[in-house]
Structure 1
Amino acid sequence: MRRILAAAIAAVLLLTGAACTDDKKVEAAPGTKVSVGVIPIIDVAPIYLGKQKGFFAKRGIDLTLTPEQGGAPIVEGVLGGKYQFGFSNVTSLMAAQSAGAPLKAVASGVASNGRAGRDFSAIVVRDGSPIRSARDLSGKRIAVNTLKNLGDTTVRQSVRRAGGNADNLSFQAMPFPDMPGALQAGKVDAAWVVEPALSAVLTQGGQILASNFVDTAPDLTVALYFTSRGTMTAKPQLVTDFTEAIKESMRYAAGHPEEVRDVVGTYTQINDTVRIAMILPSWPEDINRRSLERVATLGQRDGIFTKAPTLDQLLP
């Protein structure tokens, strides 16, 4: 009887130990901490959704998203090691690449929906403005989020297409969320805005002058997710995992517009009217190279690039 009892106790202890071991295996290992520089606009809704839905966590990525004013400081952050990955407009990335920065895009970020007057980006004026067309912007004060960047290039192109003088524009840098108030207060004559700032302006009675992305190129690829070549060399599996997660996130966002509207309110201050009214961009997986070639040509014309960007070195 003692031998039977001892054997039973040993069996129980063995099973308990095995269970503890299994529990430890079931517990999720701490994810690799990854910081990403983003801009608090609708463009990055997919990565916030992807974090919510666990698309990064299931690949072992513990994601931190840090807002910046524009693409240029995010590029600097990735190059300086502050961020492992970043989201930036294509002009900032082209400028950095043409200057010799060791950057590489890993995935598409966001694209114009191609609908003039109903794109997620626009040049706007306040209610009652005497400015009736992009042609009338010559000599006027125009808000953009950063200087000598995508805003400059695409606004100039809208002015050119309207028959105006694109060489006589006065750009003023400010964060997108500040633009609706600055426009209402008369601190600027016009503004280049993207959602949700666009709907904030429109709900205050503002008017759209032009859809600058549509004027620049059909279905313009506006921004990309990217990393440094150093990270690609040192952590290739992390780059693969991040790329897969962001692509899954973009597919999910494209198929769940109402969740996009909800998640934007978690990282920007918007009311329900703006949330419902927002015009959504496109989130295609493919990068529209022809549209980037157009942006590169215009950027050289406007003096943004010191030399022509080499897209083969930048794109995946």
Structure 2
Amino acid sequence: MRRILAALAVAATVFAAAACTSDDGGKPAPPAGGGTRISLGVIPIVDVAPAYLGKKKGFFSSRGLDLTLVQEQGGAAIVKGVAGGRYQFGFSNATSLMAAQADGVPLKVVANGVTSNGRPGRDFSAVVVPDDSPIKSAKDLAGKKIGVNALKSLGDTTVRQSVRRAGGDPAKLVFTALPFPEMPAALQSGQIDAAWVVEPQLSEALTQGSQVIASNFVDTAADLTVALYFTGSTTATQDADVVGRFTAAINESMAYATAHPEEVRDIIGTYTPISDVVRTSMILPDWPHDINRPSLERLATLGSEDGIFTRPPALDQLLP
């Protein structure tokens, strides 16, 4: 971990040198059209639809922010991107953020990101298997190859919890890392036995002949806070005005997404390929402003039991 932190520090120095002029105080130069350039690391899934929708609706530009969205495979990669200075803000699952914080990476959550809708069998996240699979419940996943978008992250912990609740052995799961967009095809080809997917890949997998065997977020905690928007601790302190404007913009974006689900369905097709069938059948998550801290405490406990954290995460330091 010391080597990783050292590498991130070097990367941050290089980024700062490339992005700043000699008299700009170390901040990114404003775009020609005015405003402050900011970048946000995201994953091409339904969770971040409010950010894309908010950019389209002008919620960021109206606050003097010129937003660029950068796609990554998973939350851990986004954490590294923010810590290394590749972008100022990130969207990451809560487990990856807690793991990084426990390892000493200086991060600060600035807003809630997405929350489970809490409906078993109808959440926006699920573990799926082919229709003809011998796997009938989460208990049967022991010894099977399960696709997750990143190892030792939210997928590990929540899928293991589904297995625990079904009476199976969570220590016998075999995880394989794949990008979410590749999951449905990998499942149908037999590359993996089961997949943890979120929307829109959940609906894509179901339309291709798969079925839900577990709602892993629902099995983990009531109204689970799944992911959050965050920045580096230095940015949170030194650029508090920019952080405040970003937080206000993303909160407005989430409120707008909640009130306009059809626009959410439309915007998703602009940043990840989906069919009309998937667009109309997608199960949407919740986007409340409030962070469900008890659910994060539950994730922290489970992550510690699973050996994901080197030490217990300090939620008081990480959360606003």
Scaled by the length of structure 1, the TM-score of the pair is 0.91
Partner residue in 2 for 1:67:
71
Partner residue in 1 for 2:129:
125
CA offsets, 1:159-198, max 9 Å, x none?
0000001100100000000000000000000000000000
Partner residue in 2 for 1:302:
306
Count of aligned residue pairs for this structure pair: 289
Partner residue in 2 for 1:25:
none
SS class of match (1:159): helix
Does residue 244 (structure 1) correspond to residue 248 (structure 2)? The answer is: yes
User: Aligned ranges for residues 126-165 of structure 1 at < 5 Å?
Assistant: 126-165=130-169
Does residue 98 (structure 1) correspond to residue 102 (structure 2)? The answer is: yes
Distance in 1 between residues matched to 2:308 and 2:299, nearest whole Å = 11
Partner residue in 2 for 1:172:
176
Q: Letter of the aligned partner of 2:142 in structure 1?
A: S
SS class of match (1:142): strand
Distance in 2 between residues matched to 1:220 and 1:74, nearest whole Å = 21
Q: Letter of the aligned partner of 2:176 in structure 1?
A: Q
Deviation at 1:205, TM superposition (A): 1.8
Distance in 1 between residues matched to 2:45 and 2:216, nearest whole Å = 17
Partner residue in 2 for 1:205:
209
Partner residue in 1 for 2:257:
253
Does residue 217 (structure 1) correspond to residue 221 (structure 2)? The answer is: yes
SS class of match (2:39): strand
Distance in 1 between residues matched to 2:46 and 2:239, nearest whole Å = 29
User: Aligned ranges for residues 74-113 of structure 1 at < 5 Å?
Assistant: 74-113=78-117
Q: Letter of the aligned partner of 2:243 in structure 1?
A: V
SS class of match (1:37): strand
Deviation at 1:31, TM superposition (A): 1.8
CA RMSD of aligned residues (A): 0.8
Partner residue in 1 for 2:27:
none
Does residue 235 (structure 1) correspond to residue 235 (structure 2)? The answer is: no
Identity of aligned residues (%): 70
SS class of match (2:270): helix
Q: Letter of the aligned partner of 1:313 in structure 2?
A: Q
Partner residue in 1 for 2:61:
57
CA offsets, 1:60-96, max 9 Å, x none?
1000001000000100010111010000000000001
Deviation at 1:277, TM superposition (A): 0.4
Distance in 1 between residues matched to 2:292 and 2:274, nearest whole Å = 31
> Structure 1: any 5+ residue segments left out of the alignment?
1-27
Distance in 2 between residues matched to 1:183 and 1:191, nearest whole Å = 7
SS class of match (1:163): coil
Distance in 2 between residues matched to 1:235 and 1:112, nearest whole Å = 31
CA offsets, 1:7-29, max 9 Å, x none?
xxxxxxxxxxxxxxxxxxxxx95
Q: Letter of the aligned partner of 2:280 in structure 1?
A: I
Deviation at 1:261, TM superposition (A): 0.2
Deviation at 1:224, TM superposition (A): 0.3
Distance in 2 between residues matched to 1:188 and 1:233, nearest whole Å = 44
Scaled by the length of structure 2, the TM-score of the pair is 0.90
Runs of 4+ in structure 1 displaced over 3 angstroms? Answer: none
Does residue 290 (structure 1) correspond to residue 278 (structure 2)? The answer is: no
Q: Letter of the aligned partner of 1:132 in structure 2?
A: K
Q: Letter of the aligned partner of 2:246 in structure 1?
A: F
Deviation at 1:267, TM superposition (A): 0.3
Deviation at 1:230, TM superposition (A): 1.0
Partner residue in 1 for 2:19:
none
Q: Letter of the aligned partner of 1:72 in structure 2?
A: A
Partner residue in 2 for 1:263:
267
Distance in 2 between residues matched to 1:66 and 1:52, nearest whole Å = 15
Deviation at 1:235, TM superposition (A): 1.0
Deviation at 1:236, TM superposition (A): 1.0
Q: Letter of the aligned partner of 2:56 in structure 1?
A: Q
Distance in 2 between residues matched to 1:252 and 1:38, nearest whole Å = 19
Distance in 2 between residues matched to 1:108 and 1:234, nearest whole Å = 21
